[in-house]
């Protein structure tokens, strides 16, 4: 928990540096809210139930829907943009994976109501700065745009459910599955441009070279939606470069699972995690209208907090941990009273301190102090009381020193 709270505070601090303000929403919402966002199918994955008043409620599976409901209810009249972040637990009734439990934590951000290129760049910049501030360097950022592929699919008459089906293959980077599907639908020959463009960033880690955008423009010159998507992506990349971020990949295969994404989409992987490596997902979306508000540009993302904790561990990133500074061992009844007084004095001075409550003897107390990683042990017995001094033992070096009681605060 000390490690988790440290990481949480670091992430919160980065959001504050970017001018994002924290919000919190209830743990459960009307089931309706999540169905509106993701369709009836979502119920299978929810902890959905009826409360004692027969209201259908669900533990939240993610927080964007809740934050946008909050925005629509209470924040529509605020001057734009509204920059929000959140940290909270979510619940999904699904098979647990590595770093993905049935109850899990997300830390995410939403930028609402600014022009979209500006929003997209600012939001990606926040995600990248957060990871940088955590010291998690070994990450791959993949940026795409939904219109690039959707334009090509529409161009060859793949729309609606068929298009969703194809996007699902792409989302999983399952290109041979896509190939088979297109062959089965007798679309394979017509889909040459699509397959050529996919070929450009087919590598699961995308392509670092921004020239893929130029190549893609050469492949699909007449297809307006695709070309617009490519140009848009180029603008976001340029702006991100101005922010000082250049270390990302282009990946036309970022499709995200959900319908409400509208344009730019991005994902971040921590390759050290192996197969289940995604630690962040986000993009541009519209949801306010769906929840009864005025439609508005939004861009957001969510970090999988538990996976970030795992990634930090696997990447050997040290998270500072504060040991207990002092463990006090009084020997004898009079010493106990003196010990409590010193204990209180140290704690009041902001020095973490504990004392023996068990009546342990010296050797057992030393073992206990070592087991709780105390930095120092203070011994008070009759001798110490008589000469008004304390014996302070450094648990790392084993050195012992006599320190006058009145100097102990300064000494520590």
Contacts of 95 (CB under 8 A, 6+ apart): none
- Counting contacts by CB under 8 A, is residue 337 touching a second copy? yes
- Counting contacts by CB under 8 A, is residue 19 touching a second copy? yes
Q: Give the contact letters, 366-405, x = binds to a second copy (CB under 8 A), - = no.
A: -xx--xx---------------------------------
- Counting contacts by CB under 8 A, is residue 23 touching a second copy? yes
> To the nearest whole angstrom, how small is the minimum distance from the Cβ of residue 159 to a second copy?
34
Cis preceding-peptide flag for 81 (omega within 30 of 0): yes
Q: Give the contact letters, 195-214, x = binds to a second copy (CB under 8 A), - = no.
A: --------------------
> To the nearest whole angstrom, how small is the minimum distance from the Cβ of residue 111 to a second copy?
8
Residue 297 tokens read as 């540009």
- Counting contacts by CB under 8 A, is residue 56 touching a second copy? no
Query: What's the rounded Cα separation, in Å, for the pair 126 and 141?
Result: 13
> To the nearest whole angstrom, how small is the minimum distance from the Cβ of residue 295 to a second copy?
17
- Enter the DSSP assignment of 257: S
Query: What's the rounded Cα separation, in Å, for the pair 317 and 138?
Result: 10
How many CB atoms within 10 Å of residue 210? 16
Shorter beta-carbon distance to a second copy: residue 73 or 344: 344
How many CB atoms within 10 Å of residue 373? 12
Query: What's the rounded Cα separation, in Å, for the pair 3 and 318?
Result: 9
- Counting contacts by CB under 8 A, is residue 93 touching a second copy? yes
Residue 195 tokens read as 């397959």
Q: DSSP letters of 75-110?
A: ITTSPSPEEEEEEEEEE--S--BTTB-SEEEEEEEE
Query: What's the rounded Cα separation, in Å, for the pair 349 and 328?
Result: 16
- Counting contacts by CB under 8 A, is residue 302 touching a second copy? no
Residue 249 tokens read as 């990949």
Residues 113-142 that bind a second copy (CB under 8 A): 114-115, 118-119, 122, 125, 129
Contacts of 240 (CB under 8 A, 6+ apart): 121, 124, 125, 246, 248
Shorter beta-carbon distance to a second copy: residue 5 or 402: 5
Shorter beta-carbon distance to a second copy: residue 1 or 218: 1
Q: Helical H runs in 145-207?
A: 146-155, 160-171, 175-184, 192-200
By CB under 8 A, the count of residues binding a second copy is 64
Shorter beta-carbon distance to a second copy: residue 33 or 216: 33
> To the nearest whole angstrom, how small is the minimum distance from the Cβ of residue 275 to a second copy?
25
Q: Give the contact letters, 347-366, x = binds to a second copy (CB under 8 A), - = no.
A: xx-xxxxx--xxx-------
Residues at the contact surface with a second copy, assessed by CB under 8 A: 1-2, 4-5, 9, 12, 16-19, 21-24, 26-28, 47, 49-52, 59, 79-81, 83, 89, 91, 93, 103, 114-115, 118-119, 122, 125, 129, 239, 242-244, 322, 324, 327, 337, 340-341, 343-344, 347-348, 350-354, 357-359, 367-368, 371-372
């Amino acid at each position: 928990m000390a490690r988790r709270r440290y990481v949480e505070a670091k992430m919160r601090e980065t959001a504050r540096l970017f001018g994002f303000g924290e919000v919190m929403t209830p743990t459960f919402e009307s089931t309706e809210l999540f169905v509106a966002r993701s369709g009836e199918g979502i119920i299978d994955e929810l902890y959905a139930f009826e409360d004692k008043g027969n209201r259908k409620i669900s533990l939240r599976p993610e927080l964007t829907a809740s934050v946008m409901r909050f925005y629509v209810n209470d924040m529509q009249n605020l001057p734009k943009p509204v920059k929000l972040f959140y940290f909270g637990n979510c619940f999904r009734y699904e098979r647990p994976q590595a770093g993905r439990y049935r109850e899990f934590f997300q830390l995410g951000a939403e930028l609402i109501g600014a022009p979209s290129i500006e929003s997209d760049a600012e939001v990606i910049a926040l995600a990248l700065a957060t990871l940088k501030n955590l010291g998690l360097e070994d990450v791959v950022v993949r940026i795409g745009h939904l219109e690039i592929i959707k334009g090509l699919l529409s161009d060859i008459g793949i729309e609606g459910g068929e298009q969703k089906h194809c996007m699902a293959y792409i989302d999983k980077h399952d290109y041979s599955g896509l190939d088979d599907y297109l062959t089965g639908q007798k679309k394979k020959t017509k889909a040459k441009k699509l397959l050529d463009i996919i070929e450009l960033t087919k590598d699961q880690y995308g392509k670092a070279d921004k020239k893929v955008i130029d190549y893609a423009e050469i492949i699909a010159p007449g297809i307006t939606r695709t070309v617009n998507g490519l140009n848009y992506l180029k603008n976001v990349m340029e702006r991100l470069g101005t922010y000082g971020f250049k270390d990302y990949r282009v990946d036309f295969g970022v499709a995200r699972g959900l319908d409400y994404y509208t344009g730019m989409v991005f994902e971040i992987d921590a390759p050290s995690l192996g197969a289940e490596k995604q630690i962040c997902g986000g993009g541009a979306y519209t949801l306010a209208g769906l929840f009864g508000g005025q439609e508005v540009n939004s861009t957001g993302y969510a970090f999988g907090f538990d996976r970030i904790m795992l990634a930090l561990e696997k990447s050997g990133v040290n998270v500072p941990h504060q040991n207990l500074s002092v463990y006090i061992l009084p020997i004898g009844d009079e010493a106990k009273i003196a010990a409590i007084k010193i204990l209180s004095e140290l704690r009041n001075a902001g020095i973490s301190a504990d004392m023996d409550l068990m009546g342990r003897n010296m050797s057992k107390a030393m073992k206990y102090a070592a087991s709780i990683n105390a930095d120092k042990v203070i011994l008070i017995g009759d001798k110490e009381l008589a000469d008004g001094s304390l014996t302070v033992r450094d648990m790392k070096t084993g050195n012992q020193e006599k320190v006058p009681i009145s100097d102990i605060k300064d000494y520590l």
